Amino acid sequence: MRIVFRMPSKGPEHGNVFNAVRKMVLASGLPFEPAKVNKNWPRLAYGPAPAFGQTAEREYLDIYLRTSVSAEETRAGLEAAKPKGLELVSVERVPYALPSVQNLAAVAKYRVEGDFALYAPEETAEDFFSAARVEVVRRADSGLTLAADAKPYVRGAETLSERAVRLTVAGVDGKWIKPQTLIAAWLGLDIPVQDELFTVEGFTFIREGLFWQDSAGKLYLI
């Protein structure tokens, strides 16, 4: 059963979300398939979780059940057991053999909100990200700079308002680039070589959804 949910912005940290949803499934009364590492835990596939400095309007959880349960029954059990603030967006049955969201996701869309004018970028987001090369320059503590072309990761950019931009980012060979890194490149900000804990202060980065792609290149919201 595939669950799409939304956590409150002040809910559990990303590292604790899995524990929160596992407790929810345990308390739901659903006939879950046991996990291999612990037969008392449910077998779940959570994620991919939003990275550091991001929130998500859609998070994903696959629950493996031992017996057939309708989507309506599953939702009722989870609604009764969900942690405070968690919102169930959708509950649907998917084929057992269907890849997990982690393996299915090909593209992510992010909404970035903040005062872009404060940095007076020389180009619009559309022009910067539609260029033949999207250069990302990372700076090490030693002062050494490393430049790379992030164009393969960029599917597009759209200015929604003076304070909001949408980025469409693709995974490349199983790797992803953070929207914080792309926005920093556009605004001319320093980007560290190790950017796992890097974000752009004063901006919010919201993952609107993950998408799978068919053989013709058409995207479908997961």
At 66-87, the pLDDT tens digits run: 999 999 999 999 999 999 999 9
Q: Which of 56, 57, 60, 58 is nearest to 48 (CA)?
A: 60
Q: Which residues contact 181 (CB under 8 A, 6 or more apart)?
A: 136, 150, 191, 195, 198
Residue 91 banded pLDDT, cuts 50, 70, 90 = very high
CA distances (Å), origin 166, targets 21, 42, 90, 108, 220: 29, 36, 23, 10, 17
pLDDT value at position 164? 98
Displacement of CA 175 from its chain's centroid (Å): 13
Helices (H), the chain: 14-28, 71-81, 101-104, 125-130, 179-187
- 129-157 average pLDDT score: 94
CB 86 within 8 A of CB 70: no
Which residue is listed with tokens 């070589």?
A: 193
Neighbours of 152 (CB within 10 A): 13
pLDDT value at position 153? 98
**Which residues are bridge partners to 145 per DSSP?**
139
Residue 13 banded pLDDT, cuts 50, 70, 90 = low
